[in-house]
Amino acid sequence: MDDLLLTLFELALFFILLVLNLQLFNSLNFEKMFKKGHIKQIQLMYFFTVIIFTYLLTSALMNLVELSIGLTA
């Protein structure tokens, strides 16, 4: 049950951080890195960058949670 609870927490954390990262990355200007008219490439870069940073942040926070659980056990 404990593993299921941690997995659900990680999934919920991922989606919460995904929404926050979408708002955060909305302020970045990716258009400067691409030629004019390359809208699909800009959208793909934005999407994958948000997903990658969300995964890394979720992974780091889950490692901290698992370490803190290990310290108390």
Closest CA to 48 of 14, 25, 72, 71: 25
Contact indicator for 54, 14 with CB cutoff of 8 Å: yes
pLDDT digit string (tens) for 10-38?
Answer: 999 999 999 999 999 888 777 777 788 88
Q: What is the pLDDT of residues 56-72, one digit of tens each?
A: 999 999 999 989 988 88
**Predicted confidence (pLDDT) per residue in 33-59, tens digit:** 778 888 888 889 889 999 999 999 999
Is the CA virtual torsion 44, 46, 47, 48 positive or negative?
positive
pLDDT for 69 equals 86
Q: Which pTM was predicted?
A: 0.83
